[in-house]
Structure 1
């Protein structure tokens, strides 16, 4: 099954899943504008404040459109740049946090490989409103299994490649993240790879998402988590200035 993405699907997803932020932001902006007009504030104040709010509301959408709709992220050509296609894996695992846009594409890219999909979403721990909304419209890959983040039902060293695509940051606790990565380490073959794609808590993402960049984790935090989970290698490559690809091996 090949999934054809709609035009601007990425930015529309961001807008839909995070609409509570935009509703609140617009309401606050209206209140501020009314206050500035009532108190006859200088035009310079009006321009600066309104511009700052519009920047905070529009820039995340522009960056999301660039990353998810125009950069080729969902074409998965970046797999070739990492030489992952040449590995010809026999067994692949794709793990998501309740929103899956990649499993059907991965199966298309690796048609000869067995693909198992897992969803670690826990409504008691992963309470972000955006994830709750995303789950309602997410496609479900056949035989996707619900799991706990610290328990993947697979044998030791049985998987060639594990994909964590814009999902692992939903595990907010460092301790839980390490336990999850330890499970990835356990099931990954010695010559295998864990491929993680994430926004980072860094300067480019601050300018893109302002305070929203705190939803992500720094490179240092990811490296520490992988090291504590027992991985021997941790390599980063950039996919656009706003996305990092971590390739790690046991």
Structure 2
């Protein structure tokens, strides 16, 4: 399925654009390693060259994987939602952490659904410079509601689907994350679903992002959070080897 409203290489170019300081630092380190070859004894050259090659390789690998995930794959076609009954009047909540690439796609894909968009970005808590740059580059979806993770403006039992796409991991404090998920649980209706799409702190993401994978949470950590919030994990789908889609309910029903 064709990805809606995405430009070629948009994902990987955004990563470079919003995290350019990392790439400048990597280039500087490799340059210094190269210069050091002039001054170091020959028997140290292999050490310097090895570290330089390692930095270049890991950087290119992370960009290649990012291209595969965010540009080559079809995650932004949202075809992984096709098994869910999203139609006229469906109460659909999309929650982001300051950078929203999916609400406009959802609006085009499901024009008859009742879409509400929440943004829990708090500059006091979420201090990553990449998010600040992204917010400057991309305006918020129209009528996005700024919310606090501890106070979602939703009535209990009213939401059909609540989505958090690459967002929930930005809540770094476990207690705050569980409290957020409890609110999501309370807002969900009896047959509704919560859909959380995330990278995991696992081997594929370690290979792809090196120590950057520590920014994500393990599957065990997510399951602990879900259980603490009273959510039931009804299914888990691998969206590429690097992404996990958690499908959650407030009961053991199978209707989607």
TM-score (structure 1 length as normaliser): 0.93
> What is the number of equivalent residue pairs in this alignment?
246
Instruction: Map Cα deviations across residues 88-135 of structure 1 (whole Å, 9 max, x no partner).
Output: 461000000111110011122222210000000000001111111111
Distance 1:105 1:242 in 2: 22
Equivalent residues of 1:226, 1:234 under 8 A apart: no
Q: In structure 2, what is the Cα distance between the partners aligned to 1:6 and 1:87?
A: 26
Query: What is the CA distance between 1:234 and its match in structure 2?
Result: 4.5
Taking the aligned partners of 1:55 and 1:173, their CA distance within structure 2 comes to 33
Who is 2:7 aligned against?
6
Would the alpha carbon gap of residues 154 and 219 (structure 1) be closer, same or farther in structure 2, given more than 3 Å must change?
Answer: same
Distance 1:107 1:230 in 2: 30
Return the match for 1:71 from 73, 77, 83. Answer: 73
Answer whether contact 1:92 1:162 (CA < 8 A) is retained. Answer: yes
SS in 2 for 1:180: helix
CA separation in 2, counterparts of 1:40 and 1:6?
Answer: 49
Question: What is the CA deviation profile of residues 155-190 of structure 1, one whole-angstrom value per residue up to 9, with x for unaligned ones?
Answer: 001100001001111111111111111111111112
Describe how 1:127-206 pairs up with structure 2 within 5 A. 127-206=127-206
RMSD: 1.6
The offset of 1:46, in angstroms, is 4.2
- Counting only pairs closer than 5 Å after superposition, residues 5-84 of structure 1 correspond to structure 2 as 5-42=6-43, 43-80=45-82, 83-84=83-84
User: How far, CA to CA, are the matches of 1:129 and 1:221 in structure 2?
Assistant: 26
CA distance in 2, matches of 1:221, 1:131: 24
Q: Which runs of 5+ in 1 are unaligned?
A: none
1-side partners of 2:246 and 2:144: how far apart? Answer: 24
Q: Does 1:223 align with 2:223?
A: yes
The equivalent of 1:249 in structure 2 is: 249
Structure 2: unaligned runs, 5 residues or longer: 251-256
Tell me if the contact between 1:98 and 1:119 (Cα under 8 Å) persists in the aligned partners: yes
Residue aligning to 1:232: 232
The 2-side partners of 1:74 and 1:203 are apart by 24
Structure 1 position 45, deviation (Å): 2.8
3-state SS of paired residue (2:139): coil
**Structure 2 length normalisation: TM-score?**
0.91
Please say if residues 159 and 188 of structure 2, whose CA atoms lie closer than 8 Å, have aligned partners that are also in contact: yes
